[in-house]
Structure 1
Amino acid sequence: MRAPRPELLRGQAVVITGAASGIGRALAQRLSRQGCPVAIADVDEAGLAVTARSLTSPTLSRILDVRSASDVAVFADDVGRWRPGSLGAVFNNAGVAVNATVVDADAEDDKWLYDINFHGVVNGTRAFLPLLLDQGYGAVVNTSSVYGLVAVRYHSAYCASKFAVRGYTEALRDELRGSGVRSVTVHPGGIKTNIANTARVRSDPSGRGRSQAQMAREFDAAAMTTPERAARIIQRGVEKGKSRILVGPDAFLVDVLARITPTRAADALAALDSKLSAASKKEIVR
């Protein structure tokens, strides 16, 4: 007999990639406080160690490059032996960014991004899905972005990867009907994380001569949501059975624009971005 799907994640084991900082760390900390055994993974060894030290529940920590399907499969085997039959959710959360115009984009930078943002999600899903199906419950929770709803300039590779995550996760959702396992897409808006600091930027794609540090400061000043609030929204969305989770007020705005004016949404976002950029510069000066 299939085990019933738990409505709450509390006490259930969870897997989180990209756990060395940002949303991944906040999710790990939040769920650990609620008694969830937490399996965390990231390529950032130092950051992952900081996260691990902050957790209070049983923890399995692995240095992991999600680009490697074989390494992710080994991680899944380890988790299966560590907490057999009790996996509440797998959060495929690892992600990176590249800022460039299409004409100036570096092919290696784009491949690096695709391999982490999309193929990392695929690797995590394929590795852990058999465990969830054997249980008959649980959730695969894949992080897309608001840029998986609307495409914007200077982020062609990032948008492509996040649209791919969205399509992949929605197709999986249909395949899983009746299995007891759910497929969930997360669309965060601007979150105050390290993604802008770790992005690959060879030059300011807008032509304004900003350094990467300047662009990262502007992003952080304009971001509307903390990782802790994002973690709370994501957990509640998963527990409510949502198939799509919008994170932050800007995510809801983008979603509305994508629905009512899909061909002009990017223009509206560009105007909004100019206002936010101006506001963030004032904030930075202060």
Structure 2
Amino acid sequence: MKNLEQKIVVVTGAGSGIGRALALQLAAQGAQLALCDVNADNLQKTVDIASAHGVKVYSATVDVSKREAVQTFADNVARALGNASVIINNAGVALSQNVETMNRQDFEWVLNINFWGVVNGCEAFLPQLRQQKDAHIVNISSIFGIIGVPSQSAYNASKFAVKGFTEALRQELNGSNIHVTCVHPGGIKTNIARNARVHNDIMGKAADPKKLAADFDKLAATTAEEAARQIVRAIESNQKRLLIGKDAKALDAIQRLLPNHYDTVLGIGYKLMDKFGKR
């Protein structure tokens, strides 16, 4: 999809982070936007900034984990703007907790948003995408959809699921008008760590949410704006798989080279991070 001008693009989780950055860059290119987020105030800020570019923007407060809510959103997008050409399933949350002590409600919260939110978005908008000459689905996984990490089992499970779902969907749609991209960001400077439910750190110890968020900010190497630029380019070039950030590319390479031992290599890194983090 070489030209996004006047295309109707759906972005979930558009109230902040990568979602907001995507909305603003797409608006600058002249795309018409359908934006949703669970946080109405944050969403409205995105809408106000995007609308300044003179493009049509439809927005709604939506919990993507609710199938009926996403379907209603899709129906309203079609009525307000027309059939969508692109959907970017970006909404996501994080949980940091060990398996043994994990609250099942928290586990389901992560899966319902990160995985079922993606499924709900694809199901609701696929009929609209089918009506377009050229269409695109972007599903946001994570580098944690490629490697497993202690205290991240729920998040890992959701993002591995997004990867598998997306790669299967891409093959099902091969030869059709719909292209599919799976995105694996590394550390991105967003509020996901601040909004996470935090119980344990990567060493399994009780964690201070504020400290964990501060540590994440130090490690996050890529801005939301840069991540959004790469995603837009991936749509324009019909890229199948996108790793964002040097950290994501390095961890992907380690997993490929040492599929049975990457956890040992990463374990050394965890211990060093814990040691120097105390200083």
Corresponding residue pairs, total: 276
Q: Which residue number corresponds to residue 258 of structure 1?
A: 255
Distance 1:153 1:138, change over 3 A: same
Task: Report the TM-score when normalising by structure 2.
Answer: 0.93
Q: Which residue number corresponds to residue 67 of structure 1?
A: 65
Query: Shift in Å at residue 105 of structure 1?
Result: 0.8
Is 1:108 equivalent to 2:113 in the alignment?
no
Distance 1:247 1:279, change over 3 A: farther
Query: Shift in Å at residue 208 of structure 1?
Result: 4.5
Q: Which residue number corresponds to residue 33 of structure 1?
A: 28
- RMSD (Å), alpha carbons: 1.7
Of 235, 257, 276, the match for 1:238: 235
For residues 1-286 of structure 1, the aligned pairs below 5 Å read 6-55=1-50, 56=53, 57-85=55-83, 87-204=84-201, 206-275=203-272
Distance 1:152 1:209, change over 3 A: closer
8 Å CA contact retained: 1:92, 1:143: yes
Task: Report the TM-score when normalising by structure 1.
Answer: 0.91
Gaps of 5+ in 1: 1-5
Summarize deviations over 1:22-64 as a string: whole Å, max 9, x none: 1001000111111111111000111111111111221111000
CA distance in 1, matches of 2:188, 2:270: 15
Give the stretch that moved more between structures: 272-281 or 248-257: 272-281
Query: Shift in Å at residue 10 of structure 1?
Result: 3.1
CA distance in 2, matches of 1:72, 1:63: 10
Gaps of 5+ in 2: none
Distance 1:49 1:276, change over 3 A: farther
CA distance in 1, matches of 2:67, 2:197: 23
Q: Percent identity?
A: 43
3-state SS of paired residue (2:189) = coil
Give the stretch that moved more between structures: 129-138 or 198-207: 198-207
CA distance in 2, matches of 1:63, 1:50: 13
Q: Which stretches of structure 1, 4 residues or longer, exceed 4 Å deviation after superposition?
A: 273-282
CA distance in 1, matches of 2:277, 2:183: 26
Query: Shift in Å at residue 174 of structure 1?
Result: 0.7
Distance 1:268 1:177, change over 3 A: same
Query: Shift in Å at residue 92 of structure 1?
Result: 0.4
